[in-house]
Amino acid sequence: MMETLVCNELSKTYGSVRALDHVDLKLEEGKIVGLLGPNGSGKTTLIKLASRLLVPTEGEVRICGELPSPATKAIVSYLPDRNYLPDWMKIKDLLEMYQDFYGDFDVQRAQEMLGSLNIDYDTPLKNMSKGTKEKVQLILTMSRHAKLYLLDEPIAGVDPAARDYILKTIISNYDETATVLISTHLIADVENVLDEAVFLKEGKVVLHQSVDELRDTTGKSVDEYFREVFKC
Amino acid sequence: MLGKLIKYDFKAMFRSLYPIYVALIALTTVFSLMVKFNFDQGLLFTIFAFLFVAALNGSIIACVFFVVTRFSHGLLKNEGYLSFALPVSTATHILAKVINAIIWAFIEGLMLCVCMVIMGTVMGSIKEVAFFFQEVFRAFDLIERDVLVAVLQVIVFLILEMIASVCLIYAAMAVGHLFSKNQKMIAVAFLIVVFVLRSFLWVSLVDLTEVVAGPTHMFVDDLMLIIPPIVLTGLYATLTWFILDRRLNLE
């Protein structure tokens, strides 16, 4: 199987703080992987490095064999952990923009998903609720035929019904040959959709295993095992 | 991709600036009509005169303000997550912002010319405005070639200086971005330091020109007039690129 994301001795420091510490990680295509860890464990830093929003202090990250660059950004679909779309833009503007910049953007898929939410294409984002904005962002992200989806805390800060919608959208829209990396600390909500789990603790990978194996070897759910590993 | 970036930056700027330009044209027209029909006394006229002058100055300030905020919001705030996830190089992002700033500086200049034409047309007549422009163009024919070249040099210099100033402001914001606190204050401090250094540079260049070419040498005739802004633009743009490409840390 082809490796979509490879980290070799990847480190990132902010001043004297080491956010990632010599991370070695290989993610194969066709998997939904949970990047799991408490706040400040380095999840967002790892995703930002893969998105080329940060530059490593040491080591390297490769996307389908390439170092992060405009070329890899064309095959990576990234969902940040915040509202990043211009508030004044309407849905029709956003669809046009994604079509303009991403050759792999499937506007029909986006329209179908937006249709299910009954969102008016002429409504600016600023007039939408927080939950609807997050859904719109996710729809735009998942409407690309990307090789790697990097979803940073996609279910944080939304109600349980919205979480179900978001997870359903993820599993029903990613391409079979793509890899989905979901960063979260809400393990119980995502555990059923994951193929693999990566535990990050203080910037280090302390576990990378298939979810089935993890359950078999520990006799616990991922959420239970996570609570044990990260017990305060 | 450059054209697409410019298109979306232009759209963002347009929605912010067009109400100001509409108000400017409306106020120019009303003010000109008041003067034409001798309503040029009393409180109402004073208010409109004040609003007209405020709109004139306000449009210039707003243009600069939105050029600055377009850069900071588009690349250094939350929207930066969208911008830097696009399959576009950092250099292309910076170039798009600079081109957008130049486009809007020209639009601002054009709007001020439109206001002058409106005033001339309403207060006088279209014929008089046309005659004025004919005279301006005729004057160009009468000017000696050397003087015309000097005037063109100054125009080129002013455009290059404007581009250098835009790049300096972008560099200052990028420098401010390196710090987690007091980013705006650090950006302003950087601007002040660079202005002081630039003043020294200019004084030194004038002295150097006088030493090399003699005190009677016309500084404006020299290539040295356009070299500094080009070099400075390169330095500021490189600094901005380095910070955004290698030191970017969006919060």
Note whether B81 contacts A82, CB cutoff 8 Å. Answer: yes
Instruction: Identify residue A212 by its one-letter amino acid code.
Output: D
Task: Tally A–B CB contacts below 8 A.
Answer: 57
- Kindly identify which residue of chain B lies nearest to residue A74, measuring between CA atoms: B87
Nearest beta carbon to residue B82 from set A70, A85, A93:
A85
pLDDT, tens digit only, all 232 positions of chain A: 788 999 999 999 988 899 999 999 999 999 999 999 988 899 999 999 999 999 999 999 999 999 999 999 999 999 998 889 999 999 999 999 999 999 999 999 899 888 887 888 888 999 988 888 888 998 999 899 999 999 998 887 777 877 888 888 888 877 788 999 999 888 888 888 899 999 999 999 999 999 999 999 999 899 999 998 888 7
CATH code: domain of residue A144: 3.40.50.300
H/E element holding B2? helix B2-36
| Residues of chain B contacting residue A86, judged by C-beta atoms under 8 Å apart | 12, 79, 82
For the residues B24-41, what does the mean pLDDT come to? 86
Q: Domain containing A107: what range?
A: 3-229
Q: What is the pLDDT of residues A60-115, one digit of tens each?
A: 999 999 999 999 999 999 999 888 999 999 999 999 999 999 999 999 989 988 88
pLDDT at B213: 62
- Kindly identify which residue of chain A lies nearest to residue B91, measuring between CA atoms: A70
* Single pTM value for the model: 0.90
pLDDT reading at B225 higher than 80: no
Q: Cα–Cα distance between B118 and B111 in angstroms, integer?
A: 10
Å between A185 CA and nearest CA of chain B: 19
Are β-strands A148-152 and A179-184 bridged in parallel, bridged antiparallel, or unpaired? Answer: parallel
| Residues of chain A contacting residue B15, judged by C-beta atoms under 8 Å apart | 88
Q: Which of A42, A52, A41 is nearest to A75 (CA)?
A: A52
Number of domains in chain A: 1
pLDDT band for B214, please (50, 70, 90 cuts).
Answer: low
Say what percent of chain B tops pLDDT 90.
53
Q: Cα–Cα distance between B9 and B3 in angstroms, integer?
A: 10
Q: Cα–Cα distance between A32 and A43 in angstroms, integer?
A: 16
Given strand A58-63, what is the order of strands in its sheet? A17-28, A3-14, A58-63
> B interface mutation test: which of A20, A57, A73 has the most B CBs within 10 A?
A73
